[in-house]
Amino acid sequence: MKRTLKSKTLELGDLARDRITGYKGVAVAKTEWINGCMRWTLQACKLTKDGAQSPTECFDEEQIAVVRKRFIAPFHRATGKAGARKPPGGPRPSPSRPPSPSRR
């Protein structure tokens, strides 16, 4: 089912398709410009022939259609939750400071 995209319908992690070029990928970034233009960055799910990640492509919001909602659960920094992923990092020891040199 093809739908017209509005800013409230597309979310990060959704699988989307550009209506003009046919490029399909996951919405990985959203950019709001000072003139009111909304652009979405899509990244293809396929790897390149070299096995590297595909480059991202940016499209105007009006020319994108949602293919599948919640294709990937994005990581939420505020809550530390995303699908089954754990937040990055872990316990870190406090930095130690060398003793101050004694002055005579």
Token reading at 23: 């490029």
Domain hosting residue 60, numbered range: 15-68
Do the domain assignments include residue 51? yes
pTM of the model: 0.61
In degrees, rounded to 5, the angle at the alpha carbon of residue 53 between the alpha carbons of residues 5 and 66 is 15
Per-residue confidence (pLDDT) for residue 53, from 0 to 100: 85
Per-residue confidence (pLDDT) for residue 101, from 0 to 100: 75
Per-residue confidence (pLDDT) for residue 24, from 0 to 100: 94
Give yes or no for residue 4 having a pLDDT over 70: no
3-state secondary structure of 51: coil
Contact 75, 87 (CB under 8 A): yes
Q: State the average pLDDT over residues 42-46.
A: 90
Contact 67, 11 (CB under 8 A): no
List b or e across 29-47, with b for residues whose CB sees 16 or more CB atoms inside 10 angstroms.
eeeeeeeeebebbbbeeee
Do the domain assignments include residue 5? no
Do the domain assignments include residue 29? yes
Per-residue confidence (pLDDT) for residue 3, from 0 to 100: 46
If one counts the domains in the chain, the total is 1
Do the domain assignments include residue 1? no
